[in-house]
Amino acid sequence: MGLKEDMKSFHPTPESIPPPGVNYRPVLPPGVPVHRQPLNPLIFLLKAAQKYPRKLAIAHPDVSHPVFYSYEVWAQRVQNLAYALIQAGIQPGDRVAVIAPNSPLIADAHQGVLAARAVICPINTRLTQQEVAYILEHSGAKVILVDHECVHLVEGTKARVIVANDTGKPGDPYEDFLSAGRRFSGERGWSGLEWEVDEDAPAVLCYTSGTTGRPKGVITTPRGSYLAAIANAYETGMNRDSTYLWILPMFHASGWTYPWAITFASALQITLRTVSYPLIWNHLLHSGVTHYCGAPTVQIGLVNAPQARVLDKPVVAIIAGSAPTAHLLGEMERRNFRPVHVYGLTETYGPFTRCYDQPSWGSISADDRARQMARQGLAFATSDEVRVVYTLKEGEDPYADTELVDVPKDGKTVGEIVVRGNIVMKEYFRDPDATKKAFRGGHFGTGDLAVWYPDGYISIQDRSKDIIISGGENASSLAIEQELASHPDVLEVAVVARPHPRWSERPMAFVILHPQRASKWKGRHKDFEEALRKHARTRLPGFACPEWVSVVDDLPKTSTGKIQKVALRKTVAKL
């Protein structure tokens, strides 16, 4: 059970053992002032390897060949990878793609590609071969690191492909690639790898899932990654005693910078290839897990899994990806999870705001508190500016450098969330038009609609396309979902607009019933639908009450657990 027994099988390859007297000092070119070190999150791994060389850094337990790497061994593997990439012809600024579920391969890549001064391009494993082909073409990736289960996605590419069989053993092509890197290094070690001197250089290229149109490539920097990683470690209280469980795919916005938050904290990371609730609960209960990230849908799955129980020790659950319902936050706290509700996008390195709980909330009801906690909050440790501004007026030039105007902090007026500062992307790769449009008014426009409260907290209402215009009123699908989720028989719910002859649009709700309550409504879905509409009428204004409710077995989701409202709207269009 858990991690402890597996740790006995720790066998690094000979090439993974650092030479005696290894020197972890980054090498800077001449001319860098004594008081400047270009910010780069790679430094955290080098320092962790120096502080805790024998401490477990990565555990990859639930596979046929489990592997366990200490910090010194992992750092050596990362160094080997950097040399191997350079030997393969990778130059500073070149793109290196990685397509893999959570595993040492993609963890290595988040460090080793930076060590080679190249740009890591993590690709969603659940895209189609055509979508991957587009990204490979657009990014111009020269080398692709690919997990054995994803090889079909890169068929026909002209780039060099390195396959990892996820064994950690000699004979595995990825392991042989690392070994070649070690030989190529000539034991020059870290001093043979020049440090990226421009902290504003491209470091990561993540393609947004892009529900419509071609995905856009988000370029982020070493400086931003360094500062974002520190913020994530600080805000969630990670330190060298922490154990982070990889549930969130690392390919998603570079795992919200946790690959570097973990090394900043000198913590242990456990990589899970798939979201399996029995495996997750096994680690929660038996492996000393202290932290994990997940979208609300994953958290719903977790608290409702048959293995779910009250945790002996609190576990910090970082929630983002979409807005959690107050109901979910309450359920999590009852099981001794400590939800940290953050908000952000790929363009903001993942988390950008946090809903800080206020001392004064201690005296309000659990329900009201959860409702406060479901808001998106304020700029967190190292993010800079969050505003809610009036959205583009009809006919207005989307490229114009207009001065943005704040909406009042009244908790009512809906505007667009815009952000700026060090943990905002640098640009869309090879897309100056899209960059200019996104950076209108000197801020990045998130496209998320929100209200701003007198306490400065923002609260997302919807993506602009998710707002339901019902009888001339703007109804927030998220606000409706919040209320429907409070019905005890609802497991998960999504609300979209459905055309209506009289009101223009009306909300339609898609509901998954709670597995332990579903039997009650068996063959009586119509009755449930009526009951839920009635529940809604006691809590929502008329224009926001769902006109239609549909009980479903499943909801369409992205790989990161976001509900695909585009797909639901297509379903609705066919009704």
Minimum distance from residue 79 beta carbon to its own copies (Å):
17
Instruction: Residue 268: name the closest of 502, 7, 70, 407 by CA.
Output: 70
Shortest reach from residue 455's CB to its own copies, in Å:
8
- Residue 4 or 534: the one with the smaller Cβ distance to its own copies is 4
Type of residue found at 98: V
Token pair 């469980």 in the structure block, residue: 245
Which residues bind to its own copies, rule: CB under 8 A? 21, 25-26, 30, 32-37, 39, 43, 47, 50-52, 54-55, 200, 221, 224, 230, 233-234, 237, 239-240, 264, 356, 358-360, 378-379, 381-382, 384-385, 387, 409, 420-422, 424-426, 439, 442-444, 456
Write down the least CB distance from residue 44 to its own copies, Å.
Answer: 9
Smallest distance from its own copies to CB 95, Å: 19
Distance CA 89, CA 75 (A): 22
Dihedral sign (CA 410, 411, 412, 417): positive
Minimum CB distance to its own copies smaller for 37 or for 391: 37
Which element (helix H / strand E) includes 337?
A: strand 337-345
List the Cα angle 314/320/324 in 5-degree steps: 80
Treating both helix axes as pointing N-terminal to C-terminal, what angle do 525-537 and 477-484 enclose, rounded to 10 degrees?
Answer: 110
Least distance between its own copies and beta carbon 175 (Å): 28
User: Nearest distance from residue 487's CB to its own copies, in Å?
Assistant: 33
Nearer to its own copies, 219 or 270 (CB): 219
Q: Which of 150, 96, 161 is nearest to 125 (CA)?
A: 150
Task: With CA atoms as reference, report the closest residue to 443 among 483, 482, 387.
Answer: 387
How open is the CA angle 395-399-404, to the nearest 5 degrees? 80
Whichever of 52 and 503 has its CB closer to its own copies, that residue is 52
Q: For residues 511 and 490, what is the distance between their CA atoms, to the nearest angstrom?
A: 7
We find the least distance from the C-beta atom of residue 357 to its own copies, in angstroms, to be 10
Q: What is the largest CA-CA distance in the chain?
A: 78
Kindly tell me which of 313 and 574 has the beta carbon lying closer to its own copies.
313
Query: Residue 59 or residue 509: which is nearer to its own copies going by CB?
Result: 59
Residue among 63 and 378 whose Cβ is closer to its own copies: 378
Q: How many Cβ atoms from other residues are within 10 Å of residue 58's Cβ?
A: 22
Q: Which residues contact 382 (CB under 8 A, 6 or more apart)?
A: 227, 228, 230, 231, 422, 423
Q: How far apart are CA 261 and CA 330, in angstroms?
A: 27
Strand 548-551 vs strand 504-513: parallel, antiparallel, or unpaired? parallel
Q: To the nearest whole angstrom, how small is the minimum distance from the Cβ of residue 363 to its own copies? A: 14
Instruction: Report in angstroms the alpha-carbon separations of 482 from 268, 298, 452, 478, 494.
Output: 35, 17, 18, 6, 10
CB of 234 to its own copies, least distance (A): 6
Q: What is the DSSP letter of 287?
A: S
Nearer to its own copies, 305 or 381 (CB): 381
Nearest to its own copies of 337, 428 (CB atom) = 428
